[in-house]
Amino acid sequence: MKGFIQSSILALAALASAGPVLERASSAYVGPENGTLVIIGGNAQDDAIYQRIIDLAGGPDAPIVTIPTAEGSPTYDNNAAAAGTFRRLGAKNVTVLHTYDPKVADTEEFAAPLRSAKGVFFGGGRQWRLVDAYAGTLTERLFHDVLDRGGVIGGSSAGASIQGSFLARGDTANNQILVGDHQVGFGFVKDVAIDQHVLVRGRQFDMFDILKVRPELLGIAIDENTALIVSKNEAEVYRGTYVIIYDGTFWAREGSDLKHPPDSSSVFYFLRNGDKYDLGKRQVIV
């Protein structure tokens, strides 16, 4: 009981210190009611994933804004956060947008490129930097507006985790603390925690650190160079290797009647390219 109380106090303290929370209208969907998310598990090398983002944004002429802030560099060039990759693939209107100052992020002058953006892409690094810079500002509100207009938001590594409502690995001390001093993401997908680099870095058991504290959440962990494409309640694995689902149940492609998985507190399963998942029902679409 004492440990539970201490954990609750720590969680509340972290929420209080994680910056302002943007209030959004309720939706019947877990994912965006309009628009699409492309959530990449880090080390995105597959041009097909970037091309999918360009296509979802509306094609080569669609305005795309890339956000390199998570990386933590003092300055960024015009190719930061995959901007150079988008241009190489034919995107003609790509803007790199960055600040570490939330006061700047709350100005119309800074946020103006997002008014017409059809796509946004968050680069990798540490996801708490995105919270510190943009949470509760005009810029964050305009990220959501891109989706409301039917656009696309993509992100890799830190840019994947920030898309969930719960911010996995959001601690400023290091990236091994799953429930840290920043726990609130941008919430493009609700009641979900998103981890990345999962198989390459042996992180397949780490999600349980979050689910022990927040058992109501759906856990999603995405391997490198693999995307999860989300619209409304449908999530589809695209390219790459595997996405791991932590929903308290077990599913296997060959059936599970004769299998003996662990109990619901420590079970997960794998989805691969082309597999679809219903985020509302929390079950595989077969």
Rounded to two decimals, the pTM is 0.91
Residue 17 is predicted with a pLDDT of 42
Q: Which amino acid is at 7?
A: S
Range in 16-25, 91-100, 223-232 with the lowest mean pLDDT:
16-25
Is pLDDT above 80 for 252? Answer: yes
Confidence class for position 13, pLDDT limits 50, 70, 90 = very low
Contact 185, 163 (CB under 8 A): yes
Average of pLDDT values for 21-36?
83
The mean pLDDT value of the chain amounts to 93
Is pLDDT above 70 for 35?
yes
Amino acid letter at 278? D
Q: What is the pLDDT of residues 39-80, one digit of tens each?
A: 999 999 999 999 999 999 999 999 999 999 999 999 999 999
Element (H, E) at 278: strand 276-278
3-class SS string, 99-128: CCCHHHHCCHHHHHHHHCCCEEEECCCCHH
pLDDT digits (tens, 9 = 90+) for 168-218: 999 999 999 999 999 999 999 999 999 999 999 999 999 999 999 999 999
| pLDDT score for 236 | 98
Mean pLDDT (whole number) for 131-141: 98
Q: Which comes out higher in pLDDT, residue 254 or 3?
A: 254
Q: Are strands 152-156 and 119-122 parallel, antiparallel or unpaired?
A: parallel
Model confidence at 27, in pLDDT bands (50, 70, 90)?
confident
Residue 226 has pLDDT above 60, yes or no: yes
